[in-house]
Structure 1
Amino acid sequence: MSGSDETSFRLPKAILFDLDGTLIDSAPDITCAVNELLDGRGLPPLTLPQVKSMIGNGVEKLVERAFAASDRPLSKAGLEEANREMAPIYRRHITRWTRPMPGAAETLARLHVAGIRLGVATNKPQAATREILLHFGMLERLGAIVGGDAVTRKKPAPEALLLALERLETTPQDALMVGDSVTDVEAARAAGVPVILIRGGYSQVPVDELGADLVCGSLLDLPAALNGLRTAA
């Protein structure tokens, strides 16, 4: 666990979590969806590491990156058509190969019992997010779920975080963001929220280099990190 010497935390009243790469490992299902879309266009499949590197900025950006990686970049009109094709494919690949990240359910349960308000702010579509969280028994712990299609601008813009905090009746000064990528760091900074990154997600850059306030080895380390903040406070 590492952090910045320049930042002093306030113990959060609310914690917002990213979804893909933070609470869940959805890359295998997303890879299946991408390859089904590409196969329909007569294109060869991409590997799991290739697709994992494309996750984080929403389905539209995922589709754009997939076709670019297949040496078939799309025009604006072509991208819109491909995204229309992707929508039902994506919905079919939600929970078959997806798994919770280590400690996800246990950590949410511990924080919920401790009285911390919990929410999710993700670029994944709202309906898919809710279906996944329900499937893995995490939904009942969460007071706010904001998907990428619930706001005008996805992360790294701050809208999803601010809307989730509004629903949790918490200010950015009393909140914390937990994610796995530079997108989460930038969104948190824009919202005025401290940010902790978790190792083992989908970032292509080492998380220690992304400027987070703190880095944890896994979600299982998060409660102890917060206890440290409580002691320091």
Structure 2
Amino acid sequence: MNVGAGRPLRSPKAILFDLDGTLVDSAPDIAAAVNELLASRDLPPLRLDRVKAMIGGGVRKLIERAFAASGAPLLGNALDEANRVMAPIYRRHLTGLTRLMPGVREALTHFHLGGVSMGVATNKPQLATREILLHFGLTEYFGAIVGGDAVTYLKPAPDALLLALAQLGVDPGDALLVGDSGADLGAARAAGMPVILLRGGYSHIPVEELGADLVCDSLFDLPSAMQGLQADA
């Protein structure tokens, strides 16, 4: 089932994708990294579902939420230090437990064959993003890969989207974002782009309630759903 928010979508020249919860299910690896960091401070592990609810806003925000949930909140310099300790831990937990979300290869192949430019715009660090995409053999699809540390402000700010589109040479009005959360929606709206959200990602709120232009069950549904909307436009 696909739910539209009523705004017709033009055939885009470029599609930007979020990474975590959109292209890959990385929550198990992220949870492993968080729990290794917590263990280094003699704190008990957090369940996968609790860590999954903390994803969004970048690694530093993830650490802040994890320590707060563990009853040992960090502020200022202490949070900075934990972020430094987390960096090598995070890099050790990128692809061991991460899997592609349903329909990724099929959707990317469809749009690639249709001549649509594609990019990734994520709050995940740049090197980590590239390593994951390389691991799954997806880098060939993307003319732009922008991580959170490549811009000043993370999503829901539009910085990553605008940088990716600049690298692709496409105006925001001729592109759209595919994501899974309110941060994606906020970034797309700030950039002046339509946005499609997927169910089954890491949104803390049901995606149907966020006001996207289209909601899809998975990337399997994305090409046909977009064609249907364009035909009705």
Q: How many angstroms apart in 2 are the aligned matches of 1:202 and 1:214?
A: 17
Task: Give the deviation of 1:230 after TM superposition.
Answer: 3.5
Task: Give the deviation of 1:145 after TM superposition.
Answer: 0.4
Q: How many angstroms apart in 1 are the aligned matches of 2:91 and 2:162?
A: 26
| SS of residue in 2 equivalent to 1:219 | coil
Task: Give the deviation of 1:14 after TM superposition.
Answer: 0.3
> What's the counterpart of residue 189 of structure 2?
189
TM-score normalised by structure 1 residue count: 0.98
Q: How many angstroms apart in 1 are the aligned matches of 2:98 and 2:106?
A: 17
Task: Give the deviation of 1:225 after TM superposition.
Answer: 1.5
Task: Give the deviation of 1:106 after TM superposition.
Answer: 1.5
Per-residue CA deviations over 1:111-150 (Å, capped at 9, x if unaligned) read: 1111000000000000000010111111100010000000
> What's the counterpart of residue 66 of structure 1?
66
CA contact (8 A) 2:197 2:216 kept: yes
Q: How many angstroms apart in 2 are the aligned matches of 1:25 and 1:221?
A: 18
Q: How many angstroms apart in 2 are the aligned matches of 1:180 and 1:218?
A: 10
Alignment of 1:87-102 (within 5 A): 87-102=87-102
- Tell me, yes or no, if structure 1 residue 179 matches structure 2 residue 198: no
| SS of residue in 2 equivalent to 1:128 | helix
Q: Percent identity?
A: 67
Instruction: Please tell me the residue identity of whatever aligns with 1:58.
Output: G
Per-residue CA deviations over 1:158-185 (Å, capped at 9, x if unaligned) read: 0000000001100001000000000000
Q: How many angstroms apart in 1 are the aligned matches of 2:132 and 2:75?
A: 32
CA contact (8 A) 1:182 1:210 kept: yes
Q: How many angstroms apart in 2 are the aligned matches of 1:136 and 1:158?
A: 27
Task: Give the deviation of 1:198 after TM superposition.
Answer: 0.4
The alignment's C-alpha RMSD in Å is 0.8
Per-residue CA deviations over 1:72-109 (Å, capped at 9, x if unaligned) read: 01121000000000000000000000000001112111
> What's the counterpart of residue 213 of structure 1?
213
Alignment of 1:21-36 (within 5 A): 21-36=21-36
Q: How many angstroms apart in 2 are the aligned matches of 1:189 and 1:213?
A: 10
Alignment of 1:199-210 (within 5 A): 199-210=199-210
* Residue ranges of structure 1 left out of the alignment (5+ in a row): none
Instruction: Please tell me the residue identity of whatever aligns with 1:69.
Output: A
Q: How many angstroms apart in 2 are the aligned matches of 1:229 and 1:120?
A: 23
> What's the counterpart of residue 3 of structure 1?
4
TM-score normalised by structure 2 residue count: 0.98
> What's the counterpart of residue 149 of structure 2?
149
- Tell me, yes or no, if structure 1 residue 138 matches structure 2 residue 143: no
| SS of residue in 1 equivalent to 2:152 | coil
Task: Give the deviation of 1:200 after TM superposition.
Answer: 0.4
* Residue ranges of structure 2 left out of the alignment (5+ in a row): none
CA contact (8 A) 1:64 1:79 kept: yes
Instruction: Please tell me the residue identity of whatever aligns with 1:180.
Output: D
> What's the counterpart of residue 111 of structure 1?
111
Task: Give the deviation of 1:226 after TM superposition.
Answer: 2.0
CA contact (8 A) 1:11 1:229 kept: no
Q: How many angstroms apart in 1 are the aligned matches of 2:5 and 2:37?
A: 42
Q: How many angstroms apart in 2 are the aligned matches of 1:103 and 1:144?
A: 21
> What's the counterpart of residue 198 of structure 1?
198
> What's the counterpart of residue 224 of structure 1?
224
Task: Give the deviation of 1:153 after TM superposition.
Answer: 0.4
| SS of residue in 2 equivalent to 1:220 | coil
CA contact (8 A) 1:33 1:93 kept: yes
Instruction: Please tell me the residue identity of whatever aligns with 2:10.
Output: R
- Tell me, yes or no, if structure 1 residue 42 matches structure 2 residue 42: yes
